[in-house]
């Protein structure tokens, strides 16, 4: 398509942007006022880019999901795609939690944390507003009834659902309902609507392309901001083993995806990772699977070859409910906090962690820091932590939450893409990619 892209792949441009962002951010921390310069003059470019991506997320989901349903023509096929993807999502999440729990029990990162470190760290973060806020959000979520997720899925007003990026499932519900109804009326009546959404779909995909031109600059801005606002190395050292446990777990998840891609879909996993790289790098820099979604969809459909009929449902749903990286992190963090605070966890407690981390990752919003909110619910479900202990626990891991969030979001996005390939393969909907360039 674009011969220039061949010479210099997008993921390399993004990587260079990231690297310069880190170096520039580090350099600016050496000057007094450097941080303010970045916050005033550099950060806005990153924010604008993330806003642009969020801006097109809802139109993209609507146009592409509707196109997917209408192209399928047969409603029972749609039920098959839906059922399969949800089952596989649950499966991969259980694998992630199991890996997390196994590692944290073997490595025991919380055992080496002295009382002194705990009190030093909680002192510097005591009364941290962000933690208080997270606990309050978790409180509101855990007070909800057992069927509230179903209630939440059905919007009472389409326009308020469309105007809220957090209402992705509501929008998906409406589009499925609308699409199925369209299949039930005479084709000639439905045609103008179909043509309109087909056109809209192409326009929005073009918008993704155009926005991505700014990606290298945006990741530079985002990472420079992360660097100047991050914690001192000293704090990070105390949490080194905990962070390492999460990182090793996340790396094992990549191995798991690579195996699934090569064994089940018979595609070269390196090729898969290379094609997905721009989405992964964006997930890393933005810490938000929702903001990354337009790019994930574009990569998976245009560069990996998953049919829109599959990806248009599997990916938006995955961005909302499938968070392998987040659930792995929640399992490790819960046990780490128990180890550090010397709370004994039985086998049954660990099973509770598996179940609640599964539910919590489904319930976590696809935005930065959401995994930590749901961690509160996991800790509450175990029933052995007092509210103070939960606050201390969160405070303890807060310092490294951002870097771990960046990594777990990358895994969340990779997991969604892998599952979309698996579902596509199982339905014979994995084709040669439409765009076959070096990018």
Smallest distance from the beta carbon of 365 to ligand ASP, in angstroms? Answer: 7
Minimum distance of ligand ASP from residue 393's CB (angstroms): 16
- Tell which one of 295, 366, 407, 417 touches ligand ASP (CB under 6 A): 366
Answer whether 321's CB lies under 8 Å from 89's CB: yes
- Quote the CA–CA distance of 103 and 91 in Å, as a whole number: 19
Candidates 21, 371, 403, 415: give the one binding ligand ASP (CB under 6 A). 371
Mask for 265-294, x = binds ligand ASP (CB under 6 A): ----------------------xxx-----
Which residue from 165, 312, 364, 395 is in contact with ligand ASP, where contact means CB under 6 A? 364
Of 7, 11, 6, 8, the C-alpha closest to 295 is 11
- Nearest distance from C-beta of residue 256 to ligand ASP, angstroms: 17
Asked if 123 and 362 touch (Cβ cutoff 8 Å), the reply is: no
By CB under 6 A, is residue 363 in contact with ligand ASP?
A: no
Instruction: Report if residue 412 touches ligand ASP, rule: CB under 6 A.
Output: yes
The least CB distance from residue 371 to ligand ASP, in Å, is 3
CA-to-CA distance for 54 and 292, rounded, in angstroms? 8
Q: Which is nearer to ligand ASP, 182 or 331 (CB)?
A: 331
- By CB neighbour count within 10 A (0-12 exposed, 13-18 middle, 19+ buried), where does 194 fall? middle
Near ligand ASP by CB under 6 A, which window of 12-20, 62-70, 232-240, 359-367? 359-367
316 binds ligand ASP (CB under 6 A): no
Closer of 350 and 412 to ligand ASP (Cβ): 412
Minimum CB distance to ligand ASP, residue 184 (Å): 36
From CA 38, how far away is CA 25, in angstroms rounded? 8
> Which residue number, 300 or 366, has a Cβ lying nearer to ligand ASP?
366
Selected range binding ligand ASP among 72-80, 180-188, 387-395, 401-409, rule: CB under 6 A: 401-409
- 326 binding ligand ASP? (CB under 6 A): yes
- Return the number of the residue (21 or 368) whose C-beta is nearest ligand ASP: 368
Distance between CA 418 and CA 269 in Å, rounded? 10
- Per CB under 6 A, the list member of 297, 323, 378, 422 interacting with ligand ASP is 323
Name the percent of the chain in helix, strand, coil, to the closest 5.
80, 0, 20
Of the candidate spans 16-24, 26-34, 343-351, 406-414, the one that interacts with ligand ASP by CB under 6 A turns out to be: 406-414
Sign (positive or negative) of CA dihedral 382, 388, 391, 394: negative
CA distances from 216 to 100, 226, 274, 284, 435 (A): 33, 15, 17, 13, 21
CB of 366 to ligand ASP, least distance (A): 4
Distance of CA 432 to the CA centre of its chain: 26
> What is the rounded distance in angstroms from the CA atom of residue 393 to the CA atom of residue 403?
18
Cβ 64 vs Cβ 202: under 8 Å: no
How many Å separate Cα 48 from the centre of its chain? 20
Q: Which is nearer to ligand ASP, 175 or 367 (CB)?
A: 367
281 Cα distance to chain centroid: 12
The smaller minimum CB distance to ligand ASP, of residues 50 and 175, is found at 50
Contact pick of 42, 70, 370, 396 for ligand ASP (by CB under 6 A): 370
CB 300 within 8 A of CB 276: yes
Closest-by-Cβ residue to ligand ASP is 371
d(CA 9, CA 213): 12
For position 410 contacting ligand ASP by CB under 6 A, the verdict is no
Q: Which is nearer to ligand ASP, 70 or 293 (CB)?
A: 293
Our CB check for ligand ASP shows the closer of 70 and 332 to be 332
Rounded CA separation 361/220 (Å): 29
Question: In 197-209, which positions are buried (b, 16+ CB within 10 angstroms) versus exposed (e)?
Answer: beebbeebbebbe
Which of 363, 369, 403, 415 touches ligand ASP by CB under 6 A? 369
Nearer to ligand ASP, 56 or 69 (CB): 56
Shortest distance, CB of residue 323 to ligand ASP, whole angstroms?
A: 5
Binding region for ligand ASP (CB under 6 A): 287-289, 323, 326, 364, 366-371, 405, 408-409, 412
């Amino acid at each position: 398509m674009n011969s220039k892209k061949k010479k210099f792949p997008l993921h390399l441009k993004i990587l260079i942007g990231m690297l310069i962002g880190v170096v520039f951010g580090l350099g600016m921390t050496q000057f007094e006022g450097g941080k303010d310069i970045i916050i005033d003059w550099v950060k806005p470019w990153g924010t604008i880019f993330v806003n642009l991506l969020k801006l097109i997320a809802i139109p993209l989901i609507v146009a592409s999901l509707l196109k997917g349903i209408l192209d399928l023509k047969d409603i029972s096929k749609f039920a098959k795609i839906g059922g399969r993807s949800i089952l596989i999502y649950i499966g991969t999440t259980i694998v992630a939690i199991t890996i997390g729990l196994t590692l944290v029990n073997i490595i025991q990162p919380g055992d080496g944390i002295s009382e002194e470190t705990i009190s030093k760290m909680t002192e510097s973060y005591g009364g941290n507003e962000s933690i208080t806020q997270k606990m309050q959000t978790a409180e509101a979520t855990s007070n909800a009834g057992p069927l509230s997720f179903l209630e939440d899925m059905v919007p009472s007003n389409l326009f308020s659902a469309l105007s809220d990026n957090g209402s992705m499932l509501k929008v998906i519900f409406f589009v499925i309902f609308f699409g199925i109804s369209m299949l039930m009326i005479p084709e000639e009546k439905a045609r103008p609507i179909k043509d309109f959404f087909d056109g809209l779909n192409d326009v929005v995909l073009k918008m993704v392309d155009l926005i991505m031109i700014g990606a290298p600059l945006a990741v530079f801005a985002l990472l420079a901001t992360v660097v100047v606002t991050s914690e001192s190395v000293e704090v990070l050292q105390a949490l080194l083993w905990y962070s390492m446990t999460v990182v090793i777990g996340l790396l094992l998840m990549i191995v798991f995806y690579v195996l699934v891609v090569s064994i089940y879909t018979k595609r070269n996993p390196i090729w898969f990772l290379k094609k997905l790289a721009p989405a992964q790098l964006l997930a890393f820099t933005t810490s938000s699977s929702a903001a990354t979604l337009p790019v994930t969809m574009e990569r998976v459909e245009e560069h990996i070859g998953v049919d829109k009929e599959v990806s248009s449902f599997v990916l938006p749903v995955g961005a909302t409910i499938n968070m392998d990286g987040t659930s792995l992190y929640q399992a490790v963090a819960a046990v780490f906090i128990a180890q550090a605070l010397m709370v004994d966890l039985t086998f049954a407690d660990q099973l509770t962690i598996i179940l609640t981390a599964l539910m919590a990752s489904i319930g976590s919003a696809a935005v930065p820091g959401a995994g930590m909110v749901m961690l509160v619910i996991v800790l509450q479900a175990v029933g052995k932590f007092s509210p103070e202990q939960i606050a201390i626990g969160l405070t303890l891991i807060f310092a490294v939450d951002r870097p771990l969030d960046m990594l777990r979001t990358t895994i969340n996005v990779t997991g969604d893409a892998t599952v979309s390939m698996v579902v596509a393969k199982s339905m014979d909907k994995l084709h040669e990619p439409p765009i076959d360039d070096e990018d």
